[in-house]
Chain A
Amino acid sequence: MTAPRTLYDKIWDDHVVHQSEDGTCLLYIDRHLVHEVTSPQAFEGLRMTGRKVRAPEKTIAVPDHNVPTTEGRDTKIDNEESRIQVEALDKNARDFGINYYPVSDIRQGIVHIVGPEQGWTLPGMTVVCGDSHTATHGAFGALAHGIGTSEVEHVLATQTLIQKKSKNMKVEITGSLRPGVTAKDITLSVIGLTGTAGGTGYVIEYCGQAIRELSMEGRMTVCNMAIEGGARAGLIAPDEKTFAYVMGRPHAPKGAAWEAALAYWKTLYTDEGAQFDKVVTIRGEDIAPVVTWGTSPEDVLPITATVPSPEEFTGGKVEAARRSLEYMGLTPGQKLTDIKIDTVFIGSCTNGRIEDLRAAAEILKGKKVAPGMRAMVVPGSGLVRAQAEEEGLAQIFIDAGFEWRLAGCSMCLAMNPDQLSPGERCASTSNRNFEGRQGRNGRTHLVSPGMAAAAAITGHLTDVRDLMTAPAEPA
């Protein structure tokens, strides 16, 4: 008998190609996702050295970061540099024979939404992408993490990555969530507790009843932000929900292969008695709808709280909090619900899936956005968009006064024309509230889709629970 192993240990063990004496491993990579921003220099490197893509059939590319989310983009991208990057990806995908979803394809979308949607991401796999939010795929019990461009080139050329094993961390969310509290609130609350460096050097396994009770979409939201907590990756053990989500997807196994895969996937859990190097436990009942007040994802507070003062912190964080408050234009003691909002962004690989759009639409149904509000929904993929249209969600957004966009990263990082102007304040369902993230001197408050919808209606940060008790239809 081998010693009890964690889920991470098991996936790791099954992918070691070679181990050196000092513990450095060559790890096999099952899926390599590629987008236009972090890959051009990697393909250029291959060309310069005359190397090929070792496993083009395991490599999947989609443009997402730079693409405009307005109509007409499949024939023309105005920004020249963006166009060059997208064209470079077109060409690289063609030249190297890798799987590709161009902007004109309905399956195009944010790489971390497309992977699971198309069944490329499967339990027990190793998945990498030149993007830190690759952690998203951990929701399937896949070991998934972001890599830099040099590593993209390394994976393209060798289908492996040089890695040292991380430590194991368990984050358990016990009990059930209260109404109005979502996966986004879980993941932000964990970061609020552990800090943005709390997970550094670890792979986190999320477990506990509240995690089990989440849909696959919710689990992806939780794992997505593992990186914001500093972790290399986030993992959730696969279960019946996972298998049901994966079954029938275009690139999921079928027939006998499905049965064989399923048998293997069912072995993917942490053994009784396996050791974690660090354990964090949070009661699901204790989690409130939260919002960020500062410029680091660890600056998290329940929506019922007030803006903190720098003196409440210690060490370097005092100065950081002072800087954050100044940047955000907030005063200590101010109620979070008094903070006025001018822009609402619903989308990103954190909250751009169908369930997120349903949650926001539920709040928006029959309502209008506040006067002067710029509100935008950017579905995570063309297929999410189509489904939302079919379910009538798109109409709810449009009737409420939201712009209904095409799929992409959009205002999550504002590389395309969707940006905040200086001083503009946004309630955003994305994952980073860094200075300038959504546009130079733009101010970002991270929230769940329901909270974003609530802010859109009232014009200020709002406790979504206050709108949930209100009648669904206006008089």
Chain B
Amino acid sequence: MQEFTKLTGVAAPMPLVNIDTDMIIPKQFLKTIQRSGLGKNLFDEMRYNPDGSEIPEFVLNQPAYRDAQIIVAGDNFGCGSSREHAPWALLDFGIRCVISTSFADIFYNNCFKNGILPIVMPPEVVEVLMEDARRGANARMTVDLESQTVTTSDGQSFPFQVDSFRRHCLMNGLDDIGLTLEKAASIDGFERDLATLRPWV
């Protein structure tokens, strides 16, 4: 996993609430058996006409936002299915950070497994960041995981909270499975107890 420490980049405003995983990556793109290559289909049905041409109004099709690395979104981003294809598609497009007032639980989890930082901010802060994002490509936002702050293009800084374990993993690009396997002895012990306590499991 690619580590995340500090990012300065263009933020795309997506004020819509309840942006669900079917919007982020429609199911016809879940048929892949790989993780990569989904970026071109990110937000597919919002981004392209049925004939494959781009819908110019869609934010990521606008010249100012084609290289966006951050999304500032409306409430409850990522609701719906557990498909990790959603963060894979975001990452493949180049998005490393999403900011919203709230995220759906599974999506939130999935982001951390893929080097994407989801940031929860109060509504009034999201409002300010949304305004900043609307200013386009010259307004670059800075997200600093080390100091846990987001800074707008005009220098306003806002702190955010993130779970310390997840922050540690993200900053160091650590593989969860490797970390867990270090606790193999505890798992062995648990399974031994389970065999007597709940042998039917």
* Known contacts A41-B33, A197-B102, A414-B27, A154 near B18 by CB under 8 Å: no
Q: Known interface pairs A132-B80, A149-B84, A196-B79. Does A437 touch B22 (Cβ–Cβ under 8 Å)?
A: yes
Instruction: Give the residue name and chain of the A residue nearest to B180 (CB).
Output: A158
Asked whether A150 and B186 contact (CB < 8 A) given A197-B75, A436-B26, the answer is no
Q: In the bound complex, do residue B80 and residue A160 qualify as a contact, i.e. CB atoms below 8 Å apart?
A: no
Name the residue of chain B whose CB is nearest to the CB of A146. Answer: B82
Q: Are A40 and B33 in contact (CB under 8 A)?
A: yes
Residue of B18, B31, B177 touching A153 (CB-CB under 8 A): B177
Binds A, one of B108-116, B139-147, B150-158: B108-116
Chain B contact residues: helix, strand, loop or mixed: loop
Most buried by B among A44, A82, A149, A264: A149
In chain B, positions 142-184 with a C-beta closer than 8 Å to chain A are 163-165, 176-177, 180-181, 183-184
Interface size class of B (residues with CB under 8 A): 35 or more
Name the contact of B199 in the complex, choosing from A40, A257, A437 (C-beta under 8 A).
Answer: A257
Chain A residues with Cβ below 8 Å from B198 are 14, 124, 261, 264
Number of A-B contacts (CB under 8 A): 187
Contact A323 to B27, CB < 8 A, known contacts A30-B201, A159-B187: no
Chain B residues whose CB sits within 8 angstroms of the CB of A260 once the complex forms: 199-200
Instruction: Please encode chain A, from 118 to 144, with 1 for each CB lying within 8 Å of some chain B CB and 0 for all others.
Output: 000010110000111000000000000
B27, B32, B187 — which one has the most chain A CB atoms within 10 A of its CB?
Answer: B27
Asked if residues B84 and A160 are in contact (CB atoms below 8 Å), the reply is no
| Beta-carbon contact of A162 and B176 below 8 Å | yes
A471 to chain B, nearest CB (A): 42
**Quick check: B15 and A319 within 8 Å, CB to CB?**
yes
> Does chain B have a CB within 8 A of A24?
yes
Q: Chain B CB within 10 Å — which of A84, A230, A258 has the most?
A: A230
**In the complex the two chains form, what is the Cα distance from A261 to B201 in whole Å?**
9
Q: Is residue B64 within 8 Å, beta carbon to beta carbon, of the partner chain?
A: no
The reply to whether A85 and B33 form a contact with Cβ atoms under 8 Å apart is yes
Residues of A within 8 A of B (CB): 14, 17-18, 20, 22, 24, 26, 28, 30, 37-38, 40-41, 44, 49, 51, 54, 58, 65-66, 79, 81-82, 84-85, 88, 122, 124-125, 130-132, 145-151, 153-154, 157-160, 162, 164, 196-197, 200-201, 230-232, 253, 257-258, 260-261, 264, 296, 315-317, 319-320, 323, 413-415, 422, 432, 434-437, 440
Extra pairs beyond A422-B50, A434-B20, A435-B23 (17, CB < 8 Å): A17-B190, A22-B165, A26-B187, A38-B82, A65-B30, A85-B33, A88-B33, A150-B110, A154-B180, A158-B181, A230-B79, A257-B199, A316-B16, A320-B16, A432-B20, A436-B26, A436-B45
Can you give 28 contacting A-B residue pairs, CB < 8 Å?
A28-B187, A30-B201, A44-B33, A65-B30, A81-B32, A132-B80, A145-B106, A146-B82, A148-B113, A149-B84, A149-B110, A150-B113, A150-B114, A160-B180, A160-B187, A197-B18, A200-B76, A200-B103, A201-B105, A260-B199, A261-B198, A264-B198, A296-B18, A316-B74, A320-B16, A432-B22, A436-B23, A436-B45
